[in-house]
Amino acid sequence: MAVQKPGWQYVALLAGSLLAGLLLGWSNAAAQVNAWSYDFFLRLRPHPPVSSAVLLAIDEDSLEAYGGLLRIREPLARALDVLAPLQPATVAIDIVLSELGAEAENAALERALSRISNVVLAAHLRTNSAEKASGAWQEPLPQFRGPGITLGHVHAEPDSDGVCRRILLAKAGGGKRLWAMALEAYRLAHGGEPIVETEDGLELGPIFIPSAAREQRALRIAYRDSSSPIERLSLKQVLENPEAAAAVRGRAVFVGVVVPGGPDQFLMTPYSGGRAMSGVEINASAYETLAQGPLLRTVPESLALALAVAFAAALGLCFAVFSGRRALWTAAALLLAVHLTPGVFFAAGRILDFAPLAPVAWMCFFSGGAYHYLAVRGRLQTAEAQRNRYQRAVHYVTHEMRTPLTTIQGSSELMSRHTLTDEKRQQIAGLIHSESVRLARLVDMFLSMEKLSAGELGLKCEAVPPDAILAVCVERALPLAERKQIAIRHQPSNAGPIWGDREFLEYACYNLVTNAIKYSPARTAITVRAWHDQESIALSVEDRGYGMDASEIKDIFRKFYRAPRAEQSAENGSGLGLAIVEEIVVQHGGSIKVESRVNEGSRFTLLLPRAADRAMTTA
Ligand code: ADP
């Protein structure tokens, strides 16, 4: 059952909630929630048991054994000599070999590098302005950059919470642009085809790497679970036990310092749990991401927005279509769906952020729910008020019926029990007649109400002179008016006939006249008249009574409505009269106009079809 027709206020409320949710989705807090949810999903992602990369770690033991970082080139050269015959797919050295160093050590490293194919050396983009004086990029010494040596940048891109979730596959500075070390290593390990850029990603021969230009070619790193990290060999281990190096055969080797406080920056990752990860491991993880696939892709913003709008609409509809608990449960199920959606997308390799989807859904849930609650409450109150009014009206009518019934009963008893004079008999018969007419009118009113509700007011239309209708009503109402010493003026007109049902029109006018009497103080005047009003015949009843304010005028045609003043007055009423009058006029194809001012008086005007027009259309 529809609880409420979604009016424009409801739609505006939902649109406002949608907008507020979208704005919330751009806040820092929302960005953090997005990051955390991403970390959560990432941790659930399974990893292949064996890593594609191997870490050749320059750890504390190695530094201690070979005289620290400054003396590392010679042992590194020896280690590369151990690796060379094992033909690793690629060797990426995440140490910027830019310092001069000792001649003999440099020569040894240069020789070792030349024996290995597919080497990537690290270059670092200077950020410090003092450093920048010597060039934007800090690069290896020229002697290490022989043929077949590629440079790759080694910058990680930590988010605002310090956690590194992505790297940029390209970085530019000083007019030079370098691909990331991980990408170069991947390219060399997979055929060495040149990189072709497209708007949505990079092509390496047949391989496509999704990384949109509009997202700065960012690559989300799919870190390996900390319980099965990238396989690691230490430099010392390789030199002391060359057999251990067998693991590098055909795999990508990432060489770097893994000692915190060393030259390499350590960063937090979604898996860190308080322990930062070395830069070389992050670069190796980026390689691993490319090698293991499938790559995670962020869904386009337009899709995220469309989903947010769709969920907002669904929630809005749910509160408009269902009611009570059903609405609440359906909306709760929708909310749950909203929170599961990013997970479903993640499982398909697509990243759909929680924000703005979730804030939009929550905003719409609360605003839709509140509106629904208020609307239902409002309806209940209206229904309650209507029921009360109806009860009062029934009470009034039954009470009103009792009086004529008692009179009829008493009079008939009198007639049957006693012998009466002709005059008395006549008088009593007259009383019975007038009381039964009153009773019939009350019954009529209720029957009209019933017919009105069923929409079956059958009209017997004919040409009726408006002044005739007014004259009948005035005559009938005179006794009432005299009781309050109210004068009724009828200004005859030369208005043409109305096309309508005489009886119903008299009923409507009589209602207006009796209302004018009821709601006017004693010794005032009422004017009734008819005239030509453009395409219609107008009938008006004007009084100098209590009048009504604008809000009361709005309600007077509602069934059982009585203005507070009418309620407090001594005048009886059911609040049904004007509802019937309006229905009669509408069924005639006419309209009703009310002008009223508090304490100045009211004028009710009925605009009804002309018989002349009717005759023309039927001719
Ligand atoms: P009733 O007269 O039985 O209360 P109606 O449907 O005829 O019911 O009128 C509805 C209400 O409109 C009245 O209770 C009264 O408050 C207001 N009303 C109607 N006619 C007039 C009038 N001429 N002047 C002031 N108030 C009026």
Q: Which pLDDT score, from 0 to 100, does residue 296 have?
A: 87
Query: What's residue 440's pLDDT?
Result: 82
Backbone angles phi, psi at 56, to 5 degrees: -100, 100
Ranges of the chain whose pLDDT falls below 50:
1-4, 619
Q: Distance between alpha carbon 597 and the CA centroid of its chain, in Å?
A: 44
Q: So what's the pLDDT on residue 448?
A: 65
519 ligand 1 Cβ < 6 A: yes
Selection from 531, 527, 478, 477 nearest residue 506 by Cα: 477
Pocket test for ligand 1, best of 507, 510, 514, 562 (most atoms within 8 A of CB): 562
Q: Judge residue 531's burial from the number of C-beta atoms within 10 Å of its C-beta, 0-12 exposed, 13-18 middle, 19 or more buried.
A: middle
Nearest CA to ligand 1 atom 2: 573
User: Left, alpha or beta for 589 (phi > 0: left; psi -120 to 50: alpha)?
Assistant: left
**CA 562 to centroid of ligand 1, rounded, Å:** 6
- The response to whether residue 602 sits with its C-beta less than 6 Å from ligand 1 reads yes
- From residue 386, alpha-carbon distances to 4, 133, 392, 514 in Å are 18, 85, 10, 24
36 by Cβ neighbours in 10 Å (0-12 / 13-18 / 19+) ranks as middle
* Model pLDDT, residue 451: 64
Residue 370: predicted pLDDT: 92
601 lines ligand 1 (CB under 6 A): no
Given the CA of residue 604, which atom of ligand 1 is nearest to it?
Answer: 23
User: C-alpha distances in angstroms, 208 versus 175, 201, 579?
Assistant: 26, 7, 74
Instruction: Please tell me the predicted confidence (pLDDT) of residue 431.
Output: 85
| Measured CA distances, 343 to 33, 52, 220, 596 (Å) | 14, 27, 16, 64
State the distance from the centre of ligand 1 to the C-alpha of 600, rounded, in angstroms: 15
Q: Which two tokens stand for residue 604?
A: 């009710």
What was the pLDDT predicted at 63? 93
Compute the distance from residue 565 Cα to the ligand 1 centre, in Å. 9
Ligand 1 centroid–CA 146 distance in Å is 103
pLDDT of residue 106: 93
Long-range contacts of 439-443 (CB under 8 A, 24+ apart): 439/401, 439/404, 439/405, 439/408, 442/397, 442/400, 442/401
Q: Is the pTM of this model over 0.95?
A: no
Nearest atom of ligand 1 to the alpha carbon of 562: 14
Q: Is 562 in the pocket of ligand 1 (CB under 6 A)?
A: yes
- CA 1 to chain centroid, in Å, comes to 22
Q: Whose CA is nearest to atom 25 of ligand 1?
A: 547
H or E element that contains 43 = helix 28-44
Mutate which of 507, 510, 556 for ligand 1 pocket (most atoms within 8 A of beta carbon): 556
Residue 34 CA to chain centroid, in angstroms? 19
C-alpha 518/C-alpha 441 separation (Å) is 18
Q: Output the CA–CA distances (angstroms, integers) from residue 548 to 488, 553, 565, 614, in the order listed.
A: 21, 6, 9, 35
Location of structure tokens 């949505």: 200
Report the SS3 class of residue 125: strand
* CA 556–ligand 1 middle distance (angstroms): 7
pLDDT for position 1: 40
What pLDDT was estimated at residue 434? 79
Residue 515 Cα to ligand 1 middle (Å):
6
How far apart (Å, rounded) are the C-alpha atoms in residues 274 and 503?
Answer: 91
- Of the candidates 88, 87, 94, 84, the one whose C-alpha atom is nearest the C-alpha of residue 58 is 94
pLDDT at 619: 44
**380-439 residue pLDDT tens:** 888 887 777 667 667 666 766 776 788 888 888 888 888 888 898 888 888 888 788 878
Which pLDDT score is estimated for 93? Answer: 96
Nearest CA to ligand 1 atom 13: 562
